[in-house]
Structure 1
Amino acid sequence: MPAMLSRAAMQWVAPLPTCAGADRPKQALRAEPMSRLLFDPTHRDVQIDPYPWYARLREEEPVHFIEPLNAWGLFRYEDCKNAFMHPELYSARDFIRQAFGDLDPVPETPSLIAMDPPDHTPLRKLTSHAFSPGVTRKMIPKIEAIVDGLLDEIQGRGRTFDFVNDFAAYIPVSVTAELLGVDPKQRENFKIWTADLLNAANRAALADEEVSRIRDSVSELRRYLEQVIRERREEPRDDFISMLIKAEEGGDTLTGIQVLSTAILTHFGGSETPSHLISSSLIAMFEQPEVNDAVMADRNLVPSLVDETLRYWSPVNLVFQTATCDIDLHDRCIPAGSHVLSYIGSANRDERKFKDADRFVLGRDPHGHLSFAHGPHYCPGASLGTRMASIAIAKVLERMPAIRKIDEVTDWLPSLWIRGARTLAVSA
């Protein structure tokens, strides 16, 4: 790992990216894949511990052509932040296509997450009605009941369990099902449909029969939510879909297909990453005795634990974007049409932004990390996600004060874009 940067380096600010001039020689506009670093994020060792690689890339090649992915990576904080702030250069237009391909549940309309301003802005204003602070407050008792119910089941079975798959993975999908107003009789089916939807991102590595099963699940999920939307139009309730249907901004309302797209996006975005935030927060305690002692002595530190885990181990490792023109940055040229990966996991460890960036610090100023993105696509469910994780961790520590990790080494997921544990055996 590099030594502490100088004060001058700490004050460094990235240059704003610019489109290359039209008169630039063609030879200079092409991608230059040759590199001193052989960074391969598909390699298991890199996925287990990418952070030394990120440190080298930030210093040596902050704009790096990743040959195994045929994509460009951005690794410094300011560059990633600028990418989020400049959709006219770094477009979100291909996000859903990259995530779902032909398994997209709602191909008829652009998803909010794959739209750029100005088209994105009015839809974002309409959907924001359903993410008001009041929604989060109303969900807190329901989150507490879901967490308590899961812990009751776990404690009834014995003292050892898989914290990820028996507990953390169930909380977000249960909370979003509650948020969307899913019939309790359909909750088990909903969990199956959700797991398959999330697995669509791995379609290239799956057998044909598995892809076919995912396609069936996606269709079932869509049909069910279409039915819920019809019912809420006739008999509105105090739930997320009803709020989307009632939302109005400047005389505009959402169409039925936009309500469906937003509901599925909300469920997709809220059903996996919060589970990794919950499990990673507990791992942070296990791996750092001083953090564990501090949080166990003062449970009011749980929100700080969650905030620092977001920075230290961002559940979303990178964001997919597309260059809209030839972009000059750090003496490299990213050609128009190239896929660009803004590495949040690296940006959040940039010493130019965060002092002692590779150290987990309770009480660090929670503002500034990019784990919820930034700018037009800042995650609207950020507040709900962090409250969910804080409630889950606080309940676990209250009811299982002797909880311990069984395996010394954490089994991290083999994933390019998610940072989270695959399993976490614990004893309570």
Structure 2
Amino acid sequence: MKVPSVQYNPLLPEVRENPYPYYAELRRDHPVYPLGEQGAVVVSRYEDVAFVLRSHEHFSSGAMGSLAGSGEMLIGSDPPGHTRLRSLVNRAFTPAMVAALEPRIREVAAELLDRAGSRGEMDLVSELANPLPVTIIAEILGVDSALRDDFKRWSHSTVSGSAGSQASDDERARAAKDRQEFSDYFLQAIEERRREPRDDLISALVRAEDEEHALTADEVLAFTQLLLIAGNETTTNLIGNMVLALLEHPEQLQRVLDDRSLIPNTVEEALRYDSPVQFLFRTAAHDVELAGTAIKQGTVVLPLYASANRDERKFPDPDRFDVTRNAQGHLAFGYGIHFCLGAPLARLEAKVALEELLARFPRLSRKSDAVDRLDSFFLRGLKELPLTIGAENQSTD
């Protein structure tokens, strides 16, 4: 494989800060790119990323299996195991159930924003983007949403643990302790539901059976952890990235203020424009060729969701944020059998969050031009987004 001139590495601070120029060069000149000494390759064009994601017979999801600890995890399994797991959890996580959550999501968002509004300023991340999805997923699971600070710490340790080689010994020890607490808490909750079922998702997962056998405790643990991580990380980052994009493009924000029916499409464009998950992992199941490049069996493959979503072959003028764009087909939630099970919930939460935010504070503004990015090599989000939402900004609608 020819060594390219571009220096792309997701661990580099300059890449984390703004990966999109790197993605553009990869798509143009190096669609399958060797990731230095890691022995992995990154895939950057839409067509190729979609092929990797849908072709589980060529690219295994097993590389994702350790993301949330123990158990066969839905995100890290291949058929037939994935088919069994997905069919079981689908019964406990239906579109009708998600749609029925909208009044509660709106109630929680309103409470959070009204609390912030009394001060005239807020941090969007810590006061809305994080507590809203965490509270909702905790209530769905049937766990105490008052522990959301613990949930945030546990989930962050789980996803950041993938970059353990970049951490100090103390940081790795703290992360391991957090992940153990995470597992212990949910294993106890699972055991309680086996003894005394409740009207919650953990109980539904414990009860779920197919023709042969029920989910094991480790499988229930892995799925509940995955849901909580998504609530803590992915949806939080979607809301933060979306509001930041609107504030960085005031003409687009004004379009949304003038026509609130654009909000669902704004969510889709935000997912495309600044994807909360930049990439995940696959492993070549056998020797395979992609975009004219030979990939050996066992090679770790990084399909760049965020690069695919900026591919000019799929989306004209892809670096432009446009709330009226047809963003259909973006890969922010994946593709194929691993399309995100929680996508309808994430979309609903982001829609409601933006509706409630703009209804109360239509003239919101940033307190600073500085952007404090999340310290993650595969998630893209914000640590904080300080806003001015003073009384003069309050809507009179």
Task: Output the TM-score relative to the length of structure 2.
Answer: 0.91
1:82-101 to structure 2, matched below 5 A, reads 82-97=51-66, 99=67
User: Which residue identity lines up with residue 350 of structure 1 in the other structure?
Assistant: D
Instruction: Say which SS state the counterpart of residue 101 (structure 2) adopts.
Output: helix
The superposition leaves residues 133-178 of structure 1 with CA deviations (integer Å, 9 ceiling, x where unpaired) of: 122123222222322222233233x223322233312222222211
Structure 2 counterpart of 1:46:
15
1:187-226 to structure 2, matched below 5 A, reads 187-226=148-187
Contact 2:41 2:300 in 1 (8 A): yes
Contact 1:95 1:321 in 2 (8 A): yes
Alignment equivalent of 1:151, drawn from 113, 120, 132: 113
Q: Does 238-247 or 201-210 show the bigger shift?
A: 201-210
The structure-2 alpha-carbon separation of the partners of 1:314 and 1:190, relative to structure 1 and needing over 3 Å to count, comes to closer
User: Which residue identity lines up with residue 187 of structure 2 in the other structure?
Assistant: E
Structure 1 counterpart of 2:92:
130
1:111 and 2:73 matched: yes
Instruction: Say which SS state the counterpart of residue 176 (structure 1) adopts.
Output: helix
Structure 2 counterpart of 1:178:
139
The structure-2 alpha-carbon separation of the partners of 1:416 and 1:191, relative to structure 1 and needing over 3 Å to count, comes to closer
* Post-superposition offset of 1:344: 0.6
The structure-2 alpha-carbon separation of the partners of 1:175 and 1:204, relative to structure 1 and needing over 3 Å to count, comes to farther
The superposition leaves residues 181-230 of structure 1 with CA deviations (integer Å, 9 ceiling, x where unpaired) of: 11355455444433433443343333323322332222222222222222
Structure 1 counterpart of 2:376:
415
1:341-420 to structure 2, matched below 5 A, reads 341-420=302-381
Q: How far apart in 2 are the matches of 1:338 and 1:349?
A: 25
Q: Does 174-183 or 135-144 show the bigger shift?
A: 135-144
User: Which residue identity lines up with residue 81 of structure 1 in the other structure?
Assistant: A
* Post-superposition offset of 1:316: 0.4
Structure 1 counterpart of 2:294:
333
The superposition leaves residues 87-115 of structure 1 with CA deviations (integer Å, 9 ceiling, x where unpaired) of: 11111112133x4xxxx532xx3211111
* Post-superposition offset of 1:332: 1.8
The structure-2 alpha-carbon separation of the partners of 1:68 and 1:45, relative to structure 1 and needing over 3 Å to count, comes to farther
The superposition leaves residues 232-258 of structure 1 with CA deviations (integer Å, 9 ceiling, x where unpaired) of: 233333321122123233454322222
1:56 and 2:35 matched: no
* Post-superposition offset of 1:270: 2.8
- After superposition, the CA RMSD in angstroms is 2.0
Q: Provide structure 2 residue ranges, at least 5 long, that are not aligned to the other structure.
A: 390-397
User: Which residue identity lines up with residue 278 of structure 1 in the other structure?
Assistant: I
Q: Provide structure 1 residue ranges, at least 5 long, that are not aligned to the other structure.
A: 1-31
User: Which residue identity lines up with residue 56 of structure 2 in the other structure?
Assistant: P
User: Which residue identity lines up with residue 65 of structure 1 in the other structure?
Assistant: P
User: Which residue identity lines up with residue 52 of structure 1 in the other structure?
Assistant: P
Q: How far apart in 2 are the matches of 1:77 and 1:392?
A: 29
- Size of the aligned set, in residue pairs, is 389
User: Which residue identity lines up with residue 78 of structure 1 in the other structure?
Assistant: E
Q: How far apart in 1 are the matches of 2:103 and 2:323?
A: 27
The structure-2 alpha-carbon separation of the partners of 1:232 and 1:134, relative to structure 1 and needing over 3 Å to count, comes to farther
Task: Output the TM-score relative to the length of structure 1.
Answer: 0.85
1:282-321 to structure 2, matched below 5 A, reads 282-321=243-282
The structure-2 alpha-carbon separation of the partners of 1:193 and 1:137, relative to structure 1 and needing over 3 Å to count, comes to same
Query: Identity, % of aligned pairs?
Result: 37
* Post-superposition offset of 1:421: 2.2
Q: How far apart in 2 are the matches of 1:203 and 1:35?
A: 27
1:80 and 2:49 matched: yes
Q: How far apart in 1 are the matches of 2:159 and 2:272?
A: 23
Contact 2:109 2:132 in 1 (8 A): yes
Q: How far apart in 1 are the matches of 2:296 and 2:328?
A: 33
Q: How far apart in 1 are the matches of 2:186 and 2:340?
A: 22
Which one has a bigger Cα radius of gyration? Answer: 1
Contact 1:165 1:423 in 2 (8 A): yes
* Post-superposition offset of 1:356: 2.3
* Post-superposition offset of 1:398: 1.1
